[in-house]
Every structure is written in structure tokens, then in C-alpha cells.
Amino acid sequence: MEQQDNEEVLILAIESSCDETAASVVKNGREVLSNVIFTQIDLHVRYGGVVPEIASRKHIEKINQVIEEALEQAGVALEEITAIAVTYGPGLVGALLVGVSAAKAISFATGKPLIGVHHISGHISANYIEYPELEPPFVCLVASGGHSHLVTVRDYGEYDIIGRTRDDAAGEAFDKVARAIGLGYPGGPKIDKLSREGNPDAISFPRAKVAENEYDFSFSGLKSAVLNYLNACRMKGEKICQADVAASFQKAVIDVLVAHSLHAVKEYGVDKFAIAGGVASNSSLRSAFAQECGKCGIRFFHPSPVYCTDNAAMIGAAGYYEYRKGVRHGYDLNAVPNLKLG
Ligand code: KG4
Ligand code: ZN
């Protein structure tokens, strides 16, 4: 590790991989001094999902303001920053480019080191913010709009993906099912809320298993089962109880996520399990994991909802450990839309 133990490291972190323009100042990887998030959800609602061109344009409009606010709220001057961390993939290329260009410009103007961060590494590192005692190794479930990964965290920033989705990501399934039952975008929080009024055992939806890898996920069959159920009800003229559909669908997703995750934790012989990504803010998922981990004596880590969905504080946490390892990027750092985690 390059850093001296008594050195105070202030990371200015930038995140713009999808529809949140975000900047944050993080001290020594775990203390969030500011966490500014401009969410574009309102702009994309009418289209039922994120429109990449609109996202890029809005990032350009907002990025400087969000960065300035992050510094101001932290009470930190740009000269006091140790390094600049930025998400450079995966994500929407035009959206990523805005954050990467801003970070490069600040790095060039100030001479501060530039550190590119993997978005998923950021999501996982969100757990370090509120759990100062959490250290690798542990198993982490990353469930977001674009990813459903079961990961072993060997060390800071070092991961093995042991399970992934074969088709839709968990969040994508939430968004598609929400659209089908007429809840609109973004689906996850709406299904979460409506499910509280529904019966999770009202409709029996499938829990898919992937034959070749016991840790992999598949959610497209479940999504089709929900669509078939809705069509069948409409054809028969039966009334659809939205809350029951939402709760039964959500339970089917959670059952699979919990079963695969706990199996992995036991198989890999660790006693720590963390969740990350937008879907990790789901209230039923959090209580299901709390209950099951409790039964098995596994310590369960779950970031506050604001650190589950996209934010820059998580990039600051991940960026800090990259900084300590001596990772530095040049001004040729580019956006990599399909960046691999490794
Ligand atoms: O991590 P995130 O903000 O962005 C990506 O990296 O994809 O995740 C967004 C996803 C969306 O699909 C959204 O519907 C889902 O997370 N989500 C939720 C909840 N809040 C957000 N899914 C289920 N329950 C929630 N409460
Ligand atoms: Zn994300």
C-alpha cells in the first residue's frame, strides 16, 4: 500500500453511468463528507425507461453544478482533494463520458491523480461506508437495473463472480413487471410499496434454477409467467389484484436471490454477507435476508437505501482502496460501456 497510515485521503468522486449525476467527497474511504445526487428520473418517466441521449445531455448540464455542490457541502476546497475517482464503466457510453471528461479535466487542471472505478465495485464498496468493521473476505449480492451478480470479495477491489443472470437483471424484471401491471417507471420502488398491501402467496410464480451453474439467475421466465397470468385474467374477464401480483412476483425474485446467496456463503466458508445495488433497497428483500442470515449465524451488511441506488459516495469508497493500491489512470482514460469486473 502506497499511503502512509496517518495520511488523510480525500477523494472527490464522480458518477454518471446511467440517469443519476452524482458527486461526493469521501474521507479515508469510509466517511462521507458530502453526497450530491441529481436524479433524472422525472425526465425519463414519460418514456418508460432511460433514454440514453437525454441522459447524456442532462449530465452535461448538471455535472459542474453537482461537483461544486459536493465540494461546498463537504467544506473542502479543490486544492485539498487528494485524488479524483470516476466511474468509467459499465454503463451508457455517452453518460459515462460526461463524468470521465469532467474528472480528467479536474485532474489535468489541478495535477491531482485520476482513478477510474468500476461501477459494480462502487456498489459493493457502498457497504464500507456504514460498517467501519467490514473487511474482506465476504460474499456480496449485487442486484441493480443492469446487473445481478453473486460475487466473492477476496480483498478490497478484488472480486470473483460466481453467479450472474442469464437474461434479465433483477431490477430489469422489477421494471418490466411494474410496466405490465401499469405502475410505470421506475418499477422497483413502486412494486416494493404496493407489495405491502398484497398477498405474496396469492399467485404461484416460478423460481427458476439454472442447470449448469447453481449460483446463476434467470428472471425472464418469471417475467413471462407474470405476463401470461395478466393475459389469462384479461381473457377470462377476471379482475386483476395489482397488489397480489406485485407481492407474489417480488416474493419469487427474493426467494431465488436469498437461496442462491446463502448457498454461496455456506459453500465459500465465510460468515459475512452483503447486498448492493438498487434492488438491495427493497424492504422485503432486506427483511428476508436479515431473517435468513440471522438463522444461520451470518453477519448481514446492507447499505442505507441512498447508498444502494446510484451515488458517488460508493465510488469514493472504492476509489480510496484503488488509490491505496497505487492505481492511477492517465488522461487517456476512456468510458468502457461493458467493462468487466475482476
Ligand atoms: O443500482 P441502480 O440505481 O442502477 C443501476 O446500476 O442499474 O439500480 C436501479 C434499479 C432499477 O431497476 C430499480 O427499479 C431498482 O434498482 N430498484 C428497486 C428498488 N429501488 C430501486 N428494486 C426493488 N425494490 C426497490 N425498492
Ligand atoms: Zn448502479
Residues 49 and 166 grouped into a single domain: no
Ligand 1 centroid to residue 278 C-alpha, Å = 3
Asked whether residue 5 is assigned to any structural domain, the reply reads no
Asked whether residue 261 is assigned to any structural domain, the reply reads yes
Residue 1 has pLDDT above 80, yes or no: no
Find the CATH number of the domain harbouring 122: 3.30.420.40
**Alpha-helix runs per DSSP H in 111-219:** 119-130, 170-180, 187-195
Output the residue whose Cα is nearest ligand 1's atom 14.
Answer: 188
Least confident stretch, 78-82, 99-103, 146-150: 146-150
Ligand 1 centroid to residue 220 C-alpha, Å = 17
Residues 149 and 292 grouped into a single domain: yes
**DSSP structural state of residue 252:** H
Domain that holds residue 44: 10-127+308-324
Instruction: Report the C-alpha gap between 254 and 259 in whole angstroms.
Output: 8
Residues 140 and 83 grouped into a single domain: no
Asked whether residue 338 is assigned to any structural domain, the reply reads no
Instruction: Report the C-alpha gap between 247 and 236 in whole angstroms.
Output: 22
For the entire predicted model, the pTM comes to 0.96
pLDDT of residue 4: 55
Residues 158 and 299 grouped into a single domain: yes
* Rg of the Cα atoms in the chain: 20
Asked whether residue 169 is assigned to any structural domain, the reply reads yes
Pocket of ligand 1 (CB under 6 A): 18, 144-146, 171, 174-175, 186-189, 192, 277-279, 281-282, 309-310
pLDDT of residue 210: 87
Instruction: Report the C-alpha gap between 54 and 283 in whole angstroms.
Output: 30
Least confident stretch, 62-71, 131-140, 202-211: 202-211
Residues 298 and 195 grouped into a single domain: yes
Asked whether residue 265 is assigned to any structural domain, the reply reads yes
Q: What is the DSSP string of 69-90?
A: HHHHHHT--GGG--EEEEEEES
Residues 160 and 288 grouped into a single domain: yes
Residues 154 and 93 grouped into a single domain: no
pLDDT of residue 166: 95
Residues 47 and 141 grouped into a single domain: no
Asked whether residue 294 is assigned to any structural domain, the reply reads yes
Beta-ladder partners of 139: 152, 273
Chain segment 190-203, per-residue pLDDT in tens: 999 999 999 999 99
Q: How many domains does the chain fold into?
A: 2
Residues 143 and 276 grouped into a single domain: yes
Asked whether residue 57 is assigned to any structural domain, the reply reads yes
Give the rounded percent of residues in the chain with a pLDDT score beyond 90. 92
Asked whether residue 340 is assigned to any structural domain, the reply reads no
pLDDT of residue 281: 97
303-306: Cβ within 8 A, 24+ apart: 303/126, 303/127, 303/129, 303/130, 303/275, 303/276, 304/130, 305/281, 306/35, 306/37
How are strands ordered across the β-sheet holding 83-89? 31-39, 20-27, 10-15, 83-89, 114-118
Chain segment 113-132, per-residue pLDDT in tens: 999 999 999 999 999 999 99
174 in Cβ contact with 188 (< 8 Å): yes
pLDDT of residue 46: 87
Instruction: Report the C-alpha gap between 194 and 250 in whole angstroms.
Output: 10
Ligand 2 centroid to residue 145 C-alpha, Å = 7
pLDDT of residue 7: 82
Residues 182 and 265 grouped into a single domain: yes
Residues 41 and 188 grouped into a single domain: no
Residue 16 has pLDDT above 70, yes or no: yes
Instruction: Report the C-alpha gap between 251 and 206 in whole angstroms.
Output: 10
Residues 167 and 298 grouped into a single domain: yes
